[in-house]
Every structure is written in C-alpha cells, then in structure tokens.
C-alpha cells in the first residue's frame, strides 16, 4: 500500500513538473516575440497605466523601461491628441468597436513631438469583462516629415510656376513690341538712343549679333550679366569677350541663320564671370536688314535659376517619394488616379492607366463603403485614417494602414486627394501571434491551476481513502469478533435461561435467599429482555459490518487498475455513506431515494474515481434539496409534507456497449446561465466555504478523460436537475469484462 501511494505522488509530481516546464517555454517564446518585434508594444491597464512595454517602445519615447512604467497614457500624449484617443478607448470599452488605428503624437523625453501610428485592441477576461489593452506603436516621424516637405514643395512650386508663367507672358509680349520697334527704327542716332532706352527697360537680357559673331547691340541687363559696360561690348566679337565658349555660341547662331528658323526655349547651364552657375532660357531669332536678308540673330535670355532650383528640389522630393517604402497615390476629385509611386505599384500591382482602366480606386478595397467614407471625409477638408483591407491585382488580400488628405490649390480649393498606405501584414501577424501566445499562456496558467487543484484534491481523497480503509479495518476486527461470538452468547443465554426454568420447575419452593435474589435481579424481566437485547446487538453489529463494507468498497484502494465493476455496488456504497444526510431530522424531512436499477453488465472502469463521481453528484442533489427546505419552499400541510424531497437513480444499457446512470433530484433546478458553466473549474453557486467549484469539474474529467464517456446535465428553474453519465462497458484495446450470470451471483 505504501509503495502504491509513493508511486502516485511521483506521478503527480512529474505531471506538475511537465506542466510547469511547458508554461516556462511558452513564457520564454512570448517574451522573445514581445521584445524582438520591430514595432513598439505595450499592455495598458484600464486606468491608463503601463502594465508591460517592450524595448522598441522605450526607444521611440527615449525613456528607460523603469521610467516609462511610472508614467500613464496622458503623461506622454500630446495635449491636442488626448480627446480623440480617449474617444476611441471609450468605444472599445463599450463594445462599439473591436480595434482602432490612429496617427497621433507622443511627447519624447526630450520634449519634442513624435508622430506614431497606434493600433489598439481590448483583451477580455474569461468572464467577458474588460481586462487590459494591447497596443502596437509604429514610429512614422520620417514619413510625416517627408509628407509635410512634399506639401510645402508643391505649394512653392505651384506659386513659382504661376509667377514665372505670368512673367514669361509679359516678357514675350514686351519683346515682341520691342523687336517691332527696333526693326522700324534703325537709322538715326536719335532712333538708336530710343532703341537703347527700350532695350534697357526690358526685364530680360538682349543682344544682337551679326554673321561674323560680333555683338552689334546689347542692353544693360545682358552687359551686367557679362560683368562689362554696354560701350565696352558693342562692336566686339564674342571671341574677345568669352573666348572659351565663343565657337559653340557662333555655331548655334549659324544654325539659326542658315535654317532661317528661330530656336525657342533653349535651356543651358552657364557659368558667369563671377564663377556662379546659373540657368538661362534662350531664344535665338534671325533678324533681317532693309533688303530682307538675314543679318544675324537677336538673343533673348532669361535667368531661370530659381525655377530650376525649385524643379531640382521637386525632382529630389519626387525621388524621395518614389524611393519611399510608403505606397503613395494621388487622384483627382472624381477618383481618377493621376500618380502612383513605385511602392504603390509594387503593393497594389496597378500602374495609373491600369487602375483607371480597371475601374478606379473602388476596385482595390474589399469594402466599397470605405472608398465612399474616405472621399466624403477628405472632400470636407478633413484627414481620414484607419486600417482597411485591399485586394491587389493578383487577388491577394492585404491589410494596410491608410491616411488620406486633400490636395488644395493656392486658393484653398480642393483639387484632389493624396493617400499614403503601409502594408501591415507583418504587424498584424505579430499582433495575432502576441494575442495567440497571450491566450495560450492564460490557458496554460488556467490548466496548471486546475491540474494543481485536482492533484491536491486527488491527494486529499487518496489520504482520506487510506484513513477510511484503516479505520474500517480497525473497526472490522473487534466487530467481527463480537458478531462472530453472538450466536454462542445466544446459545449460552438460552441454556442458562432454560436451566433457570428447569430449576423453578423442579424446585418450586426455593429458599428465602433465592427468592430475595430473584426479586432483586428481576428474573422475569431478564428472561424476557435478554433475547431482545441480544437481537438488538446482532442488528447493530450487522449494521456496523455493512458500513465498514461500504467504506472499503467506496475507497477501492486495491483497485488502481481498470477492472470489471458492479456499478450498483458502488452506488449503494455511496448511499450508505450518505445515509445520515438522507434520513429525516428535526430540521428537514427525510429524502426518499428511488432506485430504478436496470440489468447492467460488469463495467470496466476505475472504481474509486467513479465512486467519487457518484459521491459528488448525489451529494449535490442532497445540497439542492436541503437548500429547497431551507428556503421554506417545502412545507407541512395538515400534518403531511407538501413537497416530498426525492432522489431517483436509474441505470440502463443504452447501446450494445454503453450504459447510463441518471441521477435526478426534484429540487428547485437552475437557470441556463448556471447550467452552461457547471463543469468550469472553480465555478460554484454555493456560499463561501461550502464548495471549491472543483467537484463537477473533476467529475467531468473522470468520466470524459479517464473513461471516454459523457457527463451532461438537464435542468430548468422549478423542474429539478438530472445528471446523465454515459460510459462504455469496456475500454478500447482492453478485453471486455466478464459478465456474471445468475448462478455466479
């Protein structure tokens, strides 16, 4: 017996150790994923305090792990973003939304703002109540800076293009007028003076050249650009003024002269005499003498350096947009795509023309209402942010974070929409893994707690069983001695009483001393009472023997392995142990037990644990009936019990190799909300100290896991409660148990 107990303890300790090792491995995996992910992750209490934060989140804000845990959500949130953040959290807590994603600002430890993309969801307790929040934080400061730079550059470019367009139109108009006037005035000194005045008033650089590459006329703007005076330039060859570039320019002039066609809008980068590089827009136009022959070319030059610098800045910005990992797209007010960067094409699979021809932006969103919501929001001048799913050209579903903003002209009129998207598949996968691991960890903890409780309960029952068996053994020996000697005592008593009777018959006149003794001991009473006393002793010893036999049968310490068992014997033993609770007392009427036993074969099972199930179920039935009595729903009318508390136990064969045991009580029953949770560990409706909530959970495990059976419950308020046990008569891979016939019984 001692060896068997030690083995059980070793098995229990090994099982507990395995569960603890599995829990440790699960925790290590969770910790590695939590700390090594590329985004910030935090567990947030319902009051806004930080429960757990990873290293990436600490790096984003510049705080150490210990410093951050002392702060709360409002402490690090930009004041302008607190209200919208709290609004979404409120919707999470009320169940209106399951998750949300927003772009907001945190305050870095150094004091500056950090733009982040926040995705947050709510974790619930097993009871359905809110437990804590899980948040993932992505640093989008660089993207925000690039976006703001793009918007600023677009505004500057639009302004400069408009200004340069007006300036160019004015210049062309002025040049045309000046050129016409110059052609008409080419004779007198007075006219030349007028020509010079007109030329100098022009907002562009102008000079006239003949076929021999001499500069005949030049205005002050051009002379100043060359770093010389007008009178020092006119009449000189360009080979004298800028010899290094003269041949190239003469060749360009000859092409215009020989072709008799103007060259308009030539853009060249030129180094000035001060060594500065500038951009010029050049027009070379042939001029004619009085005979109509081409005498040379007139050159109009405009400094477009600011415009080129803006274009280069825009080009640089465009390259940055093109090389950005964010998918960026622009549409007009009608939803027609006008620009996709490379990241957008790689993610969605569509070029601008392909998407427009396929049906536009609406076809890439799995939820068509999203497109309407985005355009409706942006056309009001607001930004739209959220997480959506898109369908790529290859029919792949991809989760993305989306921000959409309006494109406005300089008057503030909305002329289109720009959207910035990020593939958040990896982040979603990481979130899913974290949630799954958190769920698994919680499940492991619950299983460990349940197993630990079951092991403790099993150990208690095992110790109790040993105690019961020991007590039964100690009681059984003297009781068996008494019970075994009672027949002899009975025989001796009859012999002695017979001898006394014989003496009275043979000596009817005893001596005075004998008469006095007969009267003193009340011989007639002894003669009549002694048989009754011996009969009562016999009944008592028989009752004690039955109780001892029931205790030994219930504990079943010698049956650790499966074997064929008479279930009725186990039920009867349980009823015998619970007899004191079934009989009537001054506080409550007796509970009637109705046994409807069918003809069952021997059932292969673990007898001890199965008796434990009977004890739990019948004990719960007694508890329900006692509560019914305590609530005064059972009353006595005209000396009779108005409600007769009953427990009905019915057994039967329901299939060829399966039996059922149904235990019913006519108590008050239970609502569906309670019935659904009956077999949950630690669930109980009893008062504190009257139940651990493990009885039915352990019973369920014994029936389902140990015996491959089924334990269910039928109950409704006012209808009583019935537990139904269904177990196979023998287990797989085991020989069917021997069925006793009537002769063996």
User: Of the ranges 182-196, 382-396, 431-445, which is most confident?
Assistant: 382-396
Same domain for 67 and 185, yes or no, is: no
- Residue 284's Cβ-side half-sphere holds a number of Cα atoms within 13 Å equal to 22
pLDDT above 60: residue 737: no
Give the residue ranges of DSSP H helices in 185-242: 189-201, 220-226, 230-233, 238-241
pTM of the model: 0.37
Going by DSSP bridges, is the β-strand pair 563-565/640-641 parallel, antiparallel, or unpaired? unpaired
Residue 513, Cα to own-chain centre: how many angstroms?
Answer: 101
pLDDT at 691: 58
Sequence-ordered strand ranges (E) for 87-243: 99-107, 113-124, 130-139, 205-210, 215-218
Dihedral angle sign, alpha carbons of residues 347, 349, 350, 355: negative
Same domain for 580 and 652, yes or no, is: yes
Same domain for 276 and 296, yes or no, is: yes
If you average pLDDT over residues 23-47, what whole number do you get?
68
Assigned domain for 472 exists: no
Same domain for 263 and 383, yes or no, is: no
Supply φ then ψ for residue 196, to 5 degrees: -65, -40
348-377 as b/e, with b when 16 or more CB fall inside 10 Å? bbbebeebbeeeebeebbeeeebbeebbeb
Q: Which two tokens stand for residue 708?
A: 């491959």
If you average pLDDT over residues 379-384, what whole number do you get?
90
Supply the mean pLDDT for the chain: 79
Assigned domain for 319 exists: no
pLDDT above 50: residue 684: yes
Number of domains in the chain: 4
Same domain for 241 and 160, yes or no, is: yes
Assigned domain for 509 exists: no
Same domain for 676 and 715, yes or no, is: yes
| Domain extent at residue 406 | 325-423
Q: In DSSP terms, which residues pair with 286 in a beta bridge?
A: 297
Same domain for 73 and 163, yes or no, is: no
Last residue of a domain, one of 423, 458, 477: 423
Same domain for 588 and 662, yes or no, is: yes
Higher model confidence: residue 160 or residue 651?
651
Residue 740 confidence class, pLDDT cut points 50, 70, 90: very low
pLDDT at 728: 93
Whether the Cβ atoms of residue 638 and residue 735 lie closer than 8 Å to each other? no
Assigned domain for 220 exists: yes
Assigned domain for 199 exists: yes
Q: In DSSP terms, which residues pair with 77 in a beta bridge?
A: 106
Same domain for 360 and 283, yes or no, is: no
Higher model confidence: residue 344 or residue 2?
344
Whether the Cβ atoms of residue 204 and residue 301 lie closer than 8 Å to each other? yes
Distance, CA of 278 to CA of 276 (rounded, Å): 6
Sequence-ordered strand ranges (E) for 666-719: 710-715
Q: In DSSP terms, which residues pair with 649 in a beta bridge?
A: 595, 663
Higher model confidence: residue 641 or residue 414?
414
pLDDT at 1: 44
Last residue of a domain, one of 106, 139, 172: 139
Distance, CA of 194 to CA of 186 (rounded, Å): 10
Distance, CA of 545 to CA of 457 (rounded, Å): 29
pLDDT above 50: residue 444: yes
Same domain for 121 and 270, yes or no, is: no
Last residue of a domain, one of 400, 423, 446: 423
């Amino acid at each position: 017996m001692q060896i068997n107990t030690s083995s059980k303890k070793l098995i229990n300790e090994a099982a507990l150790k395995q569960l603890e090792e599995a829990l440790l491995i699960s925790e290590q995996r969770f910790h590695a994923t939590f700390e090594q992910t590329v985004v910030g992750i935090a567990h947030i209490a319902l009051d806004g305090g930080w429960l757990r934060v990873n290293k990436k989140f600490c790096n984003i804000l510049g705080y150490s792990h210990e410093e951050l845990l002392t702060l709360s959500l409002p402490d690090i949130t930009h004041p302008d973003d607190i209200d919208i953040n709290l609004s979404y959290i409120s919707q999470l807590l009320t169940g209106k939304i399951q998750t949300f994603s927003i772009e907001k600002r945190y305050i870095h430890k150094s004091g500056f703002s950090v733009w982040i993309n926040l995705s947050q969801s709510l974790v619930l307790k097993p009871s359905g109540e809110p437990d804590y929040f899980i948040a993932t934080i992505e640093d989008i400061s660089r993207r925000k800076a690039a976006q703001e730079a793009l918007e600023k550059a677009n505004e500057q470019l639009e302004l400069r293009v408009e200004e340069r367009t007006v300036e160019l139109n004015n210049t062309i108009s002025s040049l045309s007028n000046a050129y016409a006037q110059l052609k008409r005035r080419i004779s007198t000194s007075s006219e030349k003076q007028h020509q010079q005045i007109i030329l100098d008033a022009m907002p562009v650089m102008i000079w006239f050249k003949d076929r021999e590459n001499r500069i005949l006329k030049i205005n002050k703007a051009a002379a100043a650009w060359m770093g010389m005076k007008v009178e020092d330039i006119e009449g000189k060859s360009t080979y004298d003024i800028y010899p290094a570039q003269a041949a190239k320019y003469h060749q360009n002039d000859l092409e215009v002269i020989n072709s008799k066609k103007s060259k308009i809008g030539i853009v060249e980068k030129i180094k000035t005499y001060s060594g500065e590089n500038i951009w010029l827009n050049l027009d070379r136009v042939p001029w004619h003498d009085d005979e109509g022959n081409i005498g040379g070319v007139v050159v109009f030059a405009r400094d477009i350096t600011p415009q080129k610098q803006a274009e280069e800045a825009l080009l640089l910005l465009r390259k940055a947009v093109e090389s950005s990992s964010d998918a960026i797209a622009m549409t007009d007010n009608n939803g027609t795509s006008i620009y996709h960067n490379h990241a957008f094409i790689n993610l969605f699979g569509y070029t601008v023309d392909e998407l427009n021809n396929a049906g536009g932006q609406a076809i890439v969103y799995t939820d068509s209402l999203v497109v309407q919501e985005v355009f409706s929001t942006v056309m009001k001048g607001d930004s739209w942010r959220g997480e959506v799913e898109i369908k790529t050209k290859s029919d792949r579903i991809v989760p993305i974070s989306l921000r959409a903003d309006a494109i406005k002209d300089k008057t503030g009129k909305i002329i289109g929409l720009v959207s910035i998207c990020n593939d958040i598949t990896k982040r979603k996968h990481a979130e899913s893994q974290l949630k799954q691991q958190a769920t698994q960890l919680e499940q492991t903890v619950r299983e460990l707690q349940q197993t630990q409780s079951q092991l403790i309960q099993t150990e208690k029952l095992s110790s109790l069983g040993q105690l019961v068996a020991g007590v039964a053994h100690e009681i059984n020996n003297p009781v068996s001695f008494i019970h075994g000697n009672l027949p002899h005592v009975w025989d001796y008593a009859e012999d002695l009483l017979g001898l006394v009777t014989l003496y009275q018959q043979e000596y009817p006149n005893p001596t005075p001393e004998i008469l006095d003794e007969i009267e003193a001991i009340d011989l007639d009473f002894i003669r009549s009472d002694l048989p009754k006393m011996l009969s009562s002793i016999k009944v008592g010893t028989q009752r004690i023997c039955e109780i001892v036999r029931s205790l030994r049968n219930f504990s079943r310490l010698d049956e650790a392995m499966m074997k064929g068992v008479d279930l009725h014997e186990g039920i009867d033993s349980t009823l015998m142990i619970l007899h004191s609770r079934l009989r009537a007392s001054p506080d409550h009427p007796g509970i009637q037990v109705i046994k409807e036993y069918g003809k069952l074969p021997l059932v292969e099972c673990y007898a001890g644990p199965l008796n434990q199930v009977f004890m739990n179920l019948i004990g719960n039935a007694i508890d329900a009936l006692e509560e019914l009595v305590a609530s005064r729903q059972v009353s006595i009318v005209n000396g009779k019990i108005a409600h007769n508390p009953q427990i009905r136990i019915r057994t039967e064969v329901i299939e060829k190799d399966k039996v059922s045991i149904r235990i019913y009580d006519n108590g008050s029953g239970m609502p569906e909300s309670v019935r659904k949770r009956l077999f949950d560990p630690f669930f109980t409706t009893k008062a504190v100290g009257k139940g651990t909530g493990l009885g039915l959970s352990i019973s369920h495990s014994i029936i389902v896991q140990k015996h491959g059976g089924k334990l269910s419950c039928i109950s409704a308020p006012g209808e009583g409660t019935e537990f139904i046990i269904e177990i196979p008569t023998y287990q797989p891979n085991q020989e069917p148990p021997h069925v006793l016939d009537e002769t063996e019984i």
